[in-house]
C-alpha cells in the first residue's frame, strides 16, 4: 500500500501524505458498498480510493466533478483564492484525470461530470452508469466511504452533506476535506454540524492531514 501512496503523490492534487495514509488505514474497517468522491481534480485521491476499494473488495468507485469554473469559485474565501480559478484550464484537468486513471479502468469506476446536486439523483436512481471505457458500472446505492472534497464554501459543503450522508451504510466512513483550512471555515462549520447531528451514531472521529474522518456505528 505504500507504493500506492507514492504513486498517488505523483498526481497533481492538494491532499497531503498524512491524509492519504489515513485513507489507507480506514478501509480495513469499511463495510461493503459504494465508494463516492465529490471533487476529483486530477485524480490523486481517486487513484487511492480505487486502489483501496479493490484491495479490500469494498465496491465500485463513483467520482463526481463538473470541471467548470462556475462551480469551482469559492466565494467565502479571500479574493486571491477566488482568482486562482481563472488560472485553471478545466479541460486540461479533466483530460489529466482520465489519463491518470486510465491504467486502472475496469467495470468498477464511473464518473459524472456534473455538480454534486445534479449527480446525486442520477446515483440515487440506481441505474448502471457508463464508465470511460464504455462498460456499465452497477452501484448498490449504499455508500461505504464518502470523500467530500468539492467547493469549500459553507453552503456548498452543507448541500453535499445534506444530499449524500443519508446514503451512508452502517459502519461507513465520511472523509470531509480541509476541516482545518486556512482560507475559510465552511468545511469546519459543516463538519461540526455533522458531528453533532450524528453524535449517537459515531463510532470514532479524528482529524488527519487537515481532513475530518468520521466512522458510523456498524
DSSP string, 157-174: HHHHHHHHGGGEEEEEEE
**Mind listing the pLDDT tens digit for each residue in 126-147?**
999 988 777 899 999 999 999 9
8 Å CB contact between 178 and 15: no
Residue 147 grid coordinates: 470523500
pTM of the model: 0.91
How many Cα atoms within 13 Å fall on the side-chain side of residue 184?
23
Cα 159 off chain centre by: 14
8 Å CB contact between 63 and 7: no
**Mind listing the pLDDT tens digit for each residue in 74-120?**
666 556 555 666 667 889 999 999 999 988 888 899 999 999 999 99
The helix (run of H) or strand (run of E) holding residue 72 is: helix 69-72
CA separation for the pair 31, 54 (Å, rounded): 13
The conformational region for residue 130 under phi > 0 = left, psi -120 to 50 = alpha, else beta, is beta
Within 8 A by CB and 6+ apart from 39, the residues are: 64, 65, 147, 148, 149, 150, 151, 177
Pairing mode, strands 143-148 and 136-137: unpaired
Question: What is 2-216's CATH number, 3.40.50.150, 3.40.50.300, 3.30.565.10, 3.90.950.20?
Answer: 3.40.50.150
Amino acid at each position: 500500500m505504500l507504493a500506492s501512496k507514492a504513486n498517488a503523490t505523483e498526481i497533481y492534487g492538494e491532499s497531503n501524505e498524512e491524509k492519504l495514509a489515513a485513507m489507507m488505514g480506514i478501509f480495513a474497517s469499511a463495510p461493503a458498498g459504494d465508494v463516492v468522491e465529490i471533487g476529483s481534480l486530477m485524480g490523486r485521491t481517486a487513484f487511492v480510493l480505487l486502489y483501496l476499494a479493490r484491495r479490500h473488495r469494498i465496491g465500485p468507485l463513483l467520482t463526481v466533478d463538473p470541471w467548470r469554473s462556475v462551480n469551482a469559485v469559492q466565494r467565502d474565501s479571500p479574493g486571491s483564492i477566488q482568482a486562482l480559478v481563472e488560472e485553471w484550464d478545466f479541460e486540461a484537468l479533466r483530460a489529466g484525470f482520465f489519463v491518470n486513471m486510465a491504467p486502472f479502468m475496469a467495470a468498477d469506476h464511473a464518473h459524472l461530470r456534473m455538480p454534486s446536486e445534479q449527480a446525486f439523483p442520477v446515483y440515487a436512481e440506481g441505474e448502471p452508469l457508463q464508465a470511460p471505457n464504455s462498460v456499465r458500472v452497477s452501484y448498490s446505492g449504499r455508500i461505504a466511504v464518502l470523500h467530500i472534497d468539492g467547493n469549500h464554501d459553507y453552503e456548498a459543503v452543507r448541500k453535499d452533506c445534506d444530499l449524500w450522508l443519508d446514503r451512508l451504510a452502517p459502519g461507513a466512513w465520511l472523509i470531509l476535506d480541509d476541516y482545518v483550512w486556512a482560507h475559510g471555515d465552511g468545511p469546519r462549520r459543516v463538519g461540526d454540524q455533522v458531528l453533532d447531528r450524528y453524535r449517537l451514531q459515531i463510532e470514532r472521529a479524528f482529524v488527519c492531514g487537515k481532513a475530518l474522518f468520521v466512522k458510523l456505528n456498524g
